Chains A and B, each alone.
Chain A
Amino acid sequence: MSNFPKEQGLYSQKFEHDSCGIGFVANIKGQKSHEIVLRGLEILERMAHRGAEGADNKTGDGAGVSVQIPDKFYRDLIVNLPLEGEYGTGLVFLPTKKKDLDFCLKITKEIVEKEEQQIIAWRDVPVKSKEIGEIAKKTEPKIKQIFIKSRKKISQTDLERKLYIIRKQIENKIRTSSLPQKDFFYLVSLSTKTIVYKGMLAPDQVSKFYPDLKDKRFSSAIAMVHSRFSTNTFPAWSLAQPFRILSHNGEINTVKGNRFWMQAREADFFSENFGKNLNKILPVIEPGKSDSASFDNALEMLVATGRSLPHSLMMLIPESWNEKNPLPESLKFFYEYHANFMEPWDGPASMVFCDGRYVGGTLDRNGLRPSRYVVTKDDLIVMGSEVGVQEFPAHKVKEKGRLKPGKILLVDTKQGRIIPDEEIKKKIYSQNPYRSWVEKNRIKLADLPNPKTKNLMFSEKKLKKEQAVFGYNREDVENLITPMVKDGQEPTGAMGTDTPLAILSSKPQRLFNYFKQIFAQVTNPAIDPIREELVMSLTSFLGAKKNLLTETEDHCRLLKIKNPILTATDLVKIESLNENYFKSSKVSMAFDIKDGEQALKKGLDRLCLKVEKQIDSGSNLIILSDRQFSKNIVPIPSLLACSTVHHYLLRKKKRMKADLIIESGEPREVMHFALLFGYGAGAIYPYTAFETIKNLIQNKELNLSYYQAEKNYIKAINKGLLKIFSKMGTSTLRSYRGSQVFEAIGLSRDLIKQFFPGTESRLGGISLKEIQQETLNQHQSAFQENSGFLKEGGIYRYRKQGEKHAWNPETISLLQRAVRENSYKIYQDFAHLVNKENQEPRFLRGFFKFKKGKKISLSQVEPKEEIFKRFCTGAMSFGSLSKEVHEAMAMAMNKIGGKSNSGEGGENTKRFKPEKDGSWKRSAIKQVASGRFGVTSNYLANADEIQIKIAQGAKPGEGGQLPGHKVDSIIAKTRFSTPGVTLISPPPHHDIYSIEDLAQLIFDLKNANPQARISVKLVSETGVGTVAAGVAKAYADNILISGYDGGTGASPQSSIKHAGLPWELGLAETHQTLVLNNLRGRVRLQTDGQLKTGLDVVLAAILGAEEFGFGTAALITLGCVMMRKCHLNTCPVGVATQDPELRKKFKGDPEHLINYFYFMAQEVREIMAELGVKKFNDLVGQTQYLKVTKVDHWKAKKLDPSPLLYSPQANQAKRPNFLYCQEKQRHKIDNILDRALIKNCQKALQQKKRVSFSTKIKNTDRTVGAMLSNQVSIRYGEKGLPEDTIQITFEGSAGQSFGAFLTKGTTFRLEGDANDYFGKGLSGGKLIALPPAGSTFEPEKNIIIGNTVLYGATGGEVFIKGVAGERFGVRNSGAIAVIEGTGDHCAEYMTGGKLLVLGKVGRNFAAGMSGGIAYVLNEDGKFQYFCNSGMVELSSVLEEEDQAFIKKYLKKHFKYTNSKKANLILKNWHSYLPKFVKIIPFEYQRVLKELELKKIEAKIKIIKKNEQLGEESDG
């Protein structure tokens, strides 16, 4: 039944992601009807655009519906059906082969009977297979429906439990059988209350496929629906949703850890309800299913074992309960209590659930998925990812709302009412005296008395030895630890990394270096841990955990630590904890040289046994320590020790009995700590790091107290940890622990299997033997040499004795000489040197050599112009680069027919037109990044390609910051901001939290410029191929796979080095996955990251790329000498600086860059001639030209790079096996509403005449206005049209991105409501939204606009009579908006523009707001609590100017929307005025004052001048 290809090449099904549209409809009073089912199905169809289609453009990714059992309908079909509630039923997907099918039926019968139940009937469910796609058909199962009743009279609850036990057993039995078609088997649901109909279907196919659903007798009071967007084209029938209880839209980022922990807990499970039957439901988590399915498993188990549905949800996805969140104290204690034994399932999630009586939804703590609902006056509730999925006349609507972060919406169809979040939660937290339990039992580390025992004596001599043993080098101390201690944060670097991977390095490596961080891209948003601190937490609890299934006072008898980095004092406190509940013991993690070749293995075995013994004798805090080393006793790499023990205990089912504390000299940088936590550590005491700091202070190299220094260091590590967590969209340490969100490169499969199970390591590599060797080398040299000095690292800077760098004095100077002297000969020297060094090998491509080809003459090879088309320069913003360099690159690329990339800083409109001399400074590629700086309709209209930067190699999953002092007037202008105001790029795109969001943005941009191709930039990591497949299905034209080693203007050092993979891996995986998916022919692939020569280009082509990006190399040809000081604005060659003096030093010339590309094209052609290839396209993906060479490097030779050369066959034989782009994407923009609008607006567009009309709108009408705006921009540029030239009124529910990029002169009036991304990139247009005439609800209490409004708006006006969701005005830099209430994170990252909020706001108002002004009507006086005052100042509105503004816009608001609220305020101005709060960023205020001063100065100057003139004339 699953359609997944087997693991092959670099493809693995493990990497599949999905996300979706969800919703439900219910009659609150519980009245069943067929209408509800039909409504549910309509919701599905109305969200079709949130799902996706396969390569055949017909097969859906999966859709389904869950309803109350339509008893009447079945009763007519099945004879002898017991009373409702006394039988259970469900659909069963079965094998198609008779033999296999019979086997399944037999097993089912046996188990049902063994559990003392009986099968009443098997019904063949009628289906219409002709309605579904080819791909779906291939794996279509036989579908039957089972009916079961109890032999004895038992209660419905007992029967329900029985059914659960039966289902779990059948699943287990068949899963572990050797049945050939066992994958076809799936028990869709089995319940006395609900039934699920689903399949590998498109939303509109559900009811066509299952005629049952159309039968009028088929009725229910609830219909919960789901449609899926999967990143691949092999979705499986069983992965369609709804699951048994819930539907999920989102992604569980920590699922690996959650599954491990759940498995670990199973050993301690005890439930009175289940008794001996408990074992039958294990394992709780079905292996090999999706994250959502695992979550459903966990939830179902918690409910089955006795907790209520809301209670269970509150355990699994608790809302954020730190001090920044306005929750009742008792609720916080409830959460803290449960935090003791259940970690959050972290990630963006909108969940809807249904158990037959209750139906509802909940949202993750950060509200990262949209969920809107409407309640009607006739007791209907409709909830969905979008509003408008059901239409109601205005007068029938009672309430319009949205799910709020962490809150639960619950409908009780039995009580017939919606139970408010507070009420449900109150009921739950009152079940047990959680507060007193916690207060009485928890022990806080901070509260423990300071120990009497003294810390170990510090000796410099001992420290030197430790540093040598743990491989400290000078850079560790001077470039990492020192800045951390000084600044309380990780140091910043620039220009990426160009050193070899750990496996290819000849320098000794710590085991940590073989791992890379995984990060969120597309399918899941990263979090901003600074600006959205309120959802982040490092709090954890140490000790033995109790049975998950019960709740007792003892459950919270754990040690609470707020910070997982322990100081010496902390550790002594823990060691001396002496009471019944805590017992610590220290186990040495070391091996004995004398044990010979197996020493490390023996050491690990001993370690595990010792730990186990300690646990068996009652220890619950195990300290793994490497303090005790000597010449022959060698510390085990701490990560290896930690992970080995963690997994050993998991296997032994003893993991919950103790926590692991690491006392090690090894960890020092953020990545080290993250790894240890990721592999199970509970807390870490890095003693050598602390002693190093002590030593620096003693030697007066640091001028601060040790106390402060220690604090700063811990702060820096903690900050870094949160950043790493948030990169993967993880909020809490508790869920991060053991979640293993890392991948390895260069570690053998055996090693991974034994010591790091569950971790990806694609190309194999070293085993325990080499790790022992590497550890020993370091250890022995520490005991041999005694110079007393730390060695040079040469990692962050080139050093002769240090690590090898690809950009070194030889390569830099050769390249510069070659291009300046226009000498192909010198270029050849350069290329020869680079290629030779690559083959040492220093890069993965160095493993490949060409097979001998049939040589042809150079003249037969296509001309260099064909090659030039494939060259691009890297995305480097004007702002990070000087104007001179930025323009030089554009001119060079335009001249040769390649493409330059604007980067994310916007572009001066003057550059859009060619110069008189024919040169052209326009960047062909315009980038759209998370900051959306300068992204206007006109900017987009002037692009050949629009690139969505999802991630950047040097810092994937992170945002950036351009400090105010770098934002001069020109940069501010191109970025539509204010000079001197800091510009923050958020870590995620706030309009891309999932794959269907990306599809939406692609659609937006395609509308904004239908001629431009849309490119999506991803960073290489394991699984990127699957993400790319999703991106291809989201209709991107181009996909860029960036290597992790790409350059950067500024990035934290740990991100530069430790996140992402080389492009070779990502590119090959992407190419292979796309070919397998039959999607390769639809998209062009591009790659970049340390590309330098023609050989690099050819190798990349063979691995699958059609286009090539050059960042660093391009800069070097123009004069960059790899200072790596871009972030300091001190570039001495005028490349990466805005300093006018330094810019004068720029000596580059576009010709230099042209020469480089000329040389490279020449080299490419020479290689093609050697291979006998005439056309470049015939190189792409043709891996048969390559072979793997043997290398002579003790570690590198263990690597197997051959999977990179794997050449897959497309999944469907019917379609041609494309290896490069040969087809066009279907963008579906031909029949959209804008086409009609443009037709109606011709007069305005052609003659600037006024046009005004109205039209209906539906939620499926998306991105309305963008294409129209494009027409305006093409004709009138940035200036647009005169105000109100185009006036359109829309009636209904607008789809996503209503009014996106709307230009000046365009006014949209929406009577109804709108979904997310309203006014995205607003470029001067006017948007008005109000409830339709006849509405009776109060606008200020009802949601009429979705999330993420005015994202990246640069100008225009917005008036909303009603409330919007989360992130209103995010990254607004110029629009003025009036609204009557907002959700969380309003005005986030705002850099300009003004907001006037006439109602309540949510949490975290003004986070990261560096510019602009907001005015909020603070009627309940609570605003201050909701405001993140990190960057802003609050004041009352005293200035005349402010008052005038408010009044003016209140009047406008009233005029446009007839707002009662506005009118009320205007009429009672003096009583309302004191209630307004003005929010202005400190920085912005300073800048405004300076501007003001400048104006005054200028005036004084004029006055003085005049006076002087006067004086003169007088004289």
Chain B
Amino acid sequence: MGDPKGFLKIKREETGYRPVEERIKDYNEVEKELSDKERQLQASRCMDCGVPFCHWACPLGNNIPDWQDKVFKGDWPKAFNYLQETNNFPEFTGRVCPALCEASCVLALNDQAVTIRQNELDIIEKAFIEGYLKPKPPQKRTNKKVAIIGGGPAGLACADLLNQKGHRITVFEASDALGGYLRYGIPDFKLNKKIIDRRIDLLKKEGITFKTKTEVGQNLAVAEIRKNFDALCLTIGARVPRDLPLKGRELKGIYLAMEYLEQQNKIVRGDKISKQKLITAFNKQVIVIGGGDTGSDCVGTAIRQGAKKITQIELLPKPPIKRTEETPWPLWPKILKTSSSHQEGCTRLWSVLTKEFQGSEGQIAKILTKKVEWSDHKMVELKGSESKLKADLVLLALGFTSVVKNNLTKDLKIKFNSKGNLEVDSNFMTSVKGVFAAGDSTRGPSLVVWAIAEGREVALNIDQYLNEL
């Protein structure tokens, strides 16, 4: 530990965001950077706890105190070495992770947590810029081949680790580009897509083969894959969206958040979208249903598109501002999160139930809502609390339910668990020998950091499986 008294001297300083008026005019990342010196001081706040709860709370088990110390000392290369030991893609988590670590930071007990996420981000960016991170293809190749189906964070992490072990890896991705939800779910103002390209480029140089626009079971036969590879790993996500099948759902102008966000991400990339297909919030009253991160991303996107007014509604009650006794430290607190998008301007409503979509001329015009009350996890609709909200565009950001059942799962004759996701054993193997699975497709929709963590774990299991073949 560099400075045992750092936390007594230095206050938490977040990088903050670019000014609202500036940032809503573009799709560049909103978060700013600190100078190296300031960053080092932030790192000095780490107390190198005997029991680092941050490290425990992190699904990846990032050795946070180790690299904080190195950042404090300005030893960036070593910090990077320690970071990449447990995290394949700190540039992703550094940007989009909700930072479970910070909630469990011991300093957060009675002070403010260390800026762990931002420190992490600075380390990896430094590594790219200063060139500590170079393609390092494995020195020896085994003759084992692994197909990874699904190029999201879990698949990429798994591919990376197995490749480092010398196996020959091919990643199959159904869409036209890699990254999964990172690519088309998260807006560029949170995660610039060049960041993903930069990583993919590196992985390619290290010898991983990527096949995009390849939907296994659709345009590539499952049997073919089975024949050519020693093991399979399914990291196909949990892409069945939760819909809101109310009256009026068929009206025009009601979209799933993913449809909306994906299109905007493609536009930012430079894709041309035909007018008929274009979903835009420009000059519209926008209603976002769903109070989570995806909803917030819709808000930010709609603002950038020039929406007239944005309202985000959430069925659950407004969470408290501060941690309550129900989720004491070091548990993850259910507290109100105000994202950069929220700051950019939107109305947020809580305890609001959507009852009906009303339209005119086949186009959404209003939504009918009702206030609810919650007690003991049960919802009660309040009589006489009906109201109508004007809506030109409704975005359904209600999350996902489970894995998509398709030819791939059918042809593999794979078993599902009670939640409709892929069933795996303690070694991450599915009901089919040699076929492994990880990430959202097994655990249900979750965080990027969990996807990477599972991708790593499944890789180790596959490696062991291959070694025993």
| Chain A residues engaging chain B, CB cutoff 8 angstroms | 474, 494-495, 701, 786-787, 789, 792, 796-801, 805, 807-809, 812-813, 816-817, 820-821, 1121-1125, 1128, 1130, 1132-1133, 1141-1142, 1145, 1147
Determine if A1132 and B109 form an interchain contact, defined as CB atoms under 8 angstroms apart: yes
Instruction: Please tell me if the beta carbons of A797 and B75 are within 8 angstroms of each other in the complex.
Output: no
- Count the B residues whose beta carbon is within 8 Å of the partner chain — how many? 34
Interface membership of B30, Cβ < 8 A: no
Shortest distance from the beta carbon of A749 to any chain B beta carbon, whole Å: 37
B328 / chain A contacts, CB cutoff of 8 Å: 813, 816-817, 820
The contact of A495 among B5, B50, B52, B63, by CB within 8 Å, is: B50
Interface pair A800/B61, CB less than 8 Å apart? yes
* B49 / chain A contacts, CB cutoff of 8 Å: 797, 1121-1125
**CB-CB < 8 A to A1142: which residues of B?**
8
**With contacts A1125-B50, A1132-B107 known, is A808 near B56, CB below 8 A?**
yes
Q: What are 19 A-B residue pairs whose CB atoms fall within 8 Å in the complex?
A: A787-B85, A797-B51, A798-B55, A800-B55, A801-B61, A805-B51, A809-B53, A812-B51, A1121-B51, A1121-B106, A1123-B47, A1124-B51, A1125-B48, A1125-B49, A1125-B50, A1130-B4, A1130-B7, A1132-B106, A1133-B109
- Shortest distance in angstroms between A619's beta carbon and chain B's nearest beta carbon? 43
A748 and B84 CA atoms in complex are apart in Å by: 42
**B325 contacts across to A, CB distance below 8 A:** 821
Does B110 sit at the interface, judged by CB under 8 A?
Answer: yes
By the criterion CB–CB under 8 Å, are B50 and A798 in contact? yes
* B50-79 to A contact mask, C-beta < 8 Å, 1/0: 111101110001010110000000010010
Q: How far is the CB of B130 from chain A (nearest CB, A)?
A: 16
A-B interface pairs (CB < 8 A), number:
93
Given A701-B75, A1125-B4, A1145-B110 in contact, is the A789-B81 Cβ separation under 8 Å? yes
A sample of 7 more A-B contacts (CB under 8 A), given A494-B50, A1124-B50, is A786-B139, A792-B66, A798-B51, A808-B56, A1125-B48, A1132-B7, A1145-B109
Contact with A along B95-113 (1 / 0, CB 8 A): 0000000001011011100
Sorted nearest first, the 6 A-B pairs with minimum C-beta distance are: A1124-B50, A809-B56, A800-B61, A1122-B51, A798-B51, A1122-B50
Once the chains bind, are B85 and A789 in contact (CB under 8 Å)? yes
B50 surroundings in chain A (CB, below 8 A): 494-495, 796-798, 1122-1125
Contact of B8 among A495, A787, A798, A1130 (CB under 8 A): A1130
Q: Within the assembled complex, what's the spacing in Å between the Cα atoms of A520 and B109?
A: 42
- State which residues 426-448 of B face A: CB under 8 Å: none
- B56 adjacent to A798 (CB under 8 Å): yes
The closest CB in chain B to the CB of A820 belongs to: B328
List the A side residues contacting B137 at CB < 8 Å: none
**A584 to B86 alpha-carbon distance, docked (Å):** 48
Max chain A C-beta neighbours (<10 A), residue from B61, B65, B107, B331:
B61
Given contact pairs A800-B56, A1130-B47, A1123 touches B106 in the complex (Cβ within 8 A): yes
| Chain A residues whose CB sits within 8 angstroms of the CB of B104 once the complex forms | 809
Q: How far is the CB of A357 from chain B (nearest CB, A)?
A: 65
Quote the shortest CB–CB distance from B450 to chain A (angstroms).
Answer: 15
Tell whether, in the assembled complex, residue B109 and residue A1121 are in contact, meaning their CB atoms are under 8 Å apart: yes
B217 near A: Cβ within 8 Å? no
Quick check: A809 and B4 within 8 Å, CB to CB? no
Contacts of B248 in A (CB 8 A): none
Chain A nearest Cβ from B334, distance in angstroms: 16
State A816–B325 Cα separation when bound (angstroms). 12
Contact between A1130 and B5 (Cβ–Cβ < 8 Å)?
yes
In the assembly, what is the distance between CA of A798 and CA of B49, in Å?
9
Compute how far the CA of A1133 lies from the CA of B50 in the bound complex, rounded to whole angstroms: 13
User: Does residue B420 face the partner (Cβ distance < 8 Å to A)?
Assistant: no
A812 to B57, CA, bound (A): 13
Alpha-carbon gap, A1132 to B50, bound state (A): 12
Residue pair A1128, B4 in contact (C-beta under 8 Å): yes
Tell me whether B330 is interfacial, beta carbon within 8 Å. Answer: yes
Residues of chain B lying within 8 A (CB to CB) of residue A1125 = 4, 47-50
Binary contact readout B1-35 vs A (1 if CB under 8 angstroms, 0 otherwise): 00011011000000000000000000000000000
Known: A809-B330, A821-B325, A1145-B110. A797 touches B48 (CB 8 A): yes
* Contact code string B395-409 (vs A, CB < 8 Å = 1, else 0): 000000000000000
Chain A residues near B5 (CB-CB < 8 A): 1130
Q: Does the CB pair B47–A474 fall under 8 Å?
A: no
- SS class of chain A's interface: helix, strand, loop or mixed? loop
Q: What residues of A have a CB within 8 angstroms of the CB of B52 in the complex?
A: 797-799
What residue in chain B is nearest A1146 (Cβ atoms)? B110
For residue A966, give the distance in angstroms from its CB to the closest CB of chain B.
14
* Residue in B8, B51, B331 whose CB lies within 8 Å of A807: B51
B329 proximity list for chain A (CB < 8 A): 813
Residue-wise interface mask of B (220-253) relative to A, using a CB-CB cutoff of 8 A (1 in contact, 0 not)? 0000000000000000000000000000000000
In the docked arrangement, what's the CA distance between A494 and B106, Å?
17
B89 to chain A, nearest CB (A): 18
User: Which residue on chain B has the smallest CB distance to residue A1131?
Assistant: B47
Contact A1147 B51 (CB under 8 A): no
> Chain B nearest CB: distance from A491 CB in Å?
12
Q: Chain B nearest CB: distance from A476 CB in Å?
A: 14
Interface centre among A786, A809, A816, A1124 (most CB of B within 10 A): A809
B101 to nearest A CB, angstroms? 12
Q: Which residue of A lies closest to B63 (CB)?
A: A792
B78 contacts across to A, CB distance below 8 A: 701
**What 0/1 readout, one digit per residue, does chain B (291-330) give for beta carbons within 8 Å of chain A?**
0000000000000000000000000000000000100111
Q: How many Å from the CB of B328 to the closest CB on chain A?
A: 6
| Contact present for A808 and B51 (CB under 8 Å) | yes
Q: Which residues of B contact A816 (CB under 8 A)?
A: 328
Cα distance, A808 to B51, chains bound together (Å): 6
Minimum C-beta distance from A37 to chain B (A):
65
| A639 CB → nearest B CB, Å | 29
Which of chain B's residues have a CB closer than 8 A to the CB of A1124? 49-51
CB distance from A1068 to the nearest CB of B (A): 30
Residues of A within 8 A of B110 (CB): 1132-1133, 1145, 1147
**Assembled-state Cα–Cα distance A789/B57 (Å):** 24
Q: What CA separation (Å) do A800 and B55 show in the bound complex? A: 8
- Using Cβ atoms and an 8 Å threshold, which residues of chain B touch A799? 52, 55, 61, 63
Residues on B with C-beta less than 8 A from A796 are 50
- Nearest B-chain residue to A700, judged by Cβ: B75
Question: Which residues of chain A are near B107, meaning CB under 8 Å?
Answer: 1132
Q: How far is the CA of A1348 from the CA of B81 in the complex (A)?
A: 57
With both chains docked as a complex, state the minimum distance between the C-beta of B35 and any C-beta of chain A, in angstroms: 22
Separation of A812 and B331 alpha carbons in the complex (Å) = 12
A786 to B8, CA, bound (A): 40
With a CB–CB cut-off of 8 A, which chain B residues contact A1133? 109-110
Measured CB to CB, the closest approach of chain B to A16, in angstroms, equals 40
Residues of B within 8 A of A1132 (CB): 7, 47, 106-107, 109-111
Q: Please name all residues of chain A whose beta carbon is closer than 8 Å to the beta carbon of B66 when the two chains form the complex.
A: 474, 792
Q: Bound complex: CA of A21 vs CA of B62, how far in Å?
A: 63
How many Å lie between the Cα of A821 and that of B325 in the bound state? 9
The answer for the CA separation of A812 and B109 in the assembled complex, in Å, is 14
Q: How far is the CA of A1141 from the CA of B9 in the complex (A)?
A: 12
A474-B66, A817-B328, A1147-B110 given as contacts; is B51 within 8 A of A1141 (CB)?
no
Max chain A CB contacts within 10 Å: which of B49, B65, B109?
A: B49
| Bound form: Cα–Cα A390–B338 in Å | 90
In this complex, what residue of A is CB-closest to B7? A1132
Residues of A within 8 A of B4 (CB): 1125, 1128, 1130
Within 8 Å CB of B331, what residues of A?
A: 813
A805 to B329 alpha-carbon distance, docked (Å): 20
B47 lies within 8 A of A813 (CB): no
- Please, how many angstroms separate the alpha-carbon atoms of A1123 and B47 in the complex? 8
C-alpha gap A816/B109 in the complex (Å): 13
B102 to chain A, nearest CB (A): 15
Distance in Å from the Cβ of A1152 to the closest Cβ of chain B?
Answer: 13
Distance to closest chain A CB from B367 (angstroms): 41
Give Cα A1125–Cα B328 distance, bound, in whole angstroms: 23
A801 to B56 Cα, complex, angstroms: 10
